[in-house]
Amino acid sequence: MLLRKPKKRSLDTIEYAVNNRKKNSLVITTGCLPKINNACLPVYENLIIVEFAEFSKLDSIISARKKFTTIPDAGTISSIPDLHRKPSLKRYFKYLPLSKNRIQNLFFSSKNFIRNAMNSPVPSLPFMDNDIYNVMIARGCLGKCSFCAIRLSHGKIKSKPLGEILDLFRDGLQNGYKNFVLIAEDSGAYGLDLGSTYPELLKNIFELNSDFKLVLNDINPQWLIRYFDKLLPIFEKYQDRIPYIILPVQSGSNDILKKMRRPYKIEKVQDCFDRLYQTVPSIKIKTHALIGFPGETYDDFIKTKNFLKRYNLLETTIYEYENRVCCESAKLPSQISAKEKNRRINILRNELTHTVHASMFNN
């Protein structure tokens, strides 16, 4: 999964849509960017911005025959093709003259070029697969991460009632689906606004007594730590029905976790991971690592590398840290150079033995 700079990608897509629309037609844009940094959006004629909380405005904008509020969440999401980038060799000239790092980056970029040239969709995320049924359990989060702009867009956690979630699950089962993903920005925080908890949700879902598999998506480590004694028996009992769990640790350094405002110590995470692998040796875990956070020393980076090498992980997605003007982390001192972030990411690519996905980054 090669992830481009999200802000530039969004702006490029808007520009492409505006330049290629039919005469006098509207372009409607939504997503995180309008809420996070509305000032960066260009001013175009007939460009309408609709924030997440304002989707009902679409009813009047497009003269909808069916009200937005009556449309259920999509259970399936097809792979999304690249909407604006036509294959062009010019964008690969930046890799000249070649160096070791640039050759590595060119290799990953070339796979995207071939994919686009063949009109193939961008690689699917876990929930972008026609064989998977998605169940939205909540929007928003309870985190205060200093680097996260998405939380500014979605706000605090808003959980769906348990009954609605179980009904959605039953709908998917009745339609023949066998693979499910729980969708939320902060899955582990589910229910705290309703007087419920994430383990209670999982227990009720697995008790539906049907033949299905369930991906546990985006459980931030603080919830693994908080609910571990309740989650471990669930993971053990239903291990054959859990293809994998995504636990985004982000860093192996307590100093960096503190600057990130991630509310846990790495030793607590390691304790949970150790006990989890000891009890359920076949468990499959994916994680995320954010590399080049402001103030990340080489020693901090080595701690992250050692954490990732400690376990038989299924996959690590590496993100290169980027400043966001709306985020607290952008104001922190000791910013890491692009060259050094590049070097550290390539070390992880070369030394980790499990699958590694790295974000696209500039030299």
- Position 51 scores a pLDDT of 76
Distance (Å, whole) CA 92 – CA 109: 8
Nearest to 126 by CA among 11, 218, 227: 218
Residue 363's CB is within 10 A of a number of other CB atoms, namely 11
Cβ neighbour number for residue 276 with a 10 Å cutoff: 21
Closest-CA residue to 288 (of 252, 330, 336): 252
Distance CA 196, CA 159 (A): 10
Q: How open is the CA angle 292-293-296, to the nearest 5 degrees?
A: 80
pLDDT value of residue 44: 73
Q: Residue 90 has what pLDDT?
A: 53
pLDDT in the model for residue 341: 95
Q: Which residues of the chain have pLDDT under 70?
A: 1-7, 33-42, 72, 74-130, 359-363
Residue 275: the pLDDT is 98
Structural contact between residues 148 and 185, judged by C-beta atoms closer than 8 angstroms: no
Domain with CATH 3.80.30.20 in the chain: 132-358
Which pLDDT value is given to residue 38?
Answer: 63
Q: What is the pLDDT of residue 115?
A: 41
CATH topology for the 132-358 domain? pyruvate-formate lyase- activating enzyme (3.80.30)
**Contacts with 296 (C-beta within 8 Å, 6 or more apart), sequence order:** 251, 253, 256, 321, 336
Terminal alpha carbon distance of the chain:
19
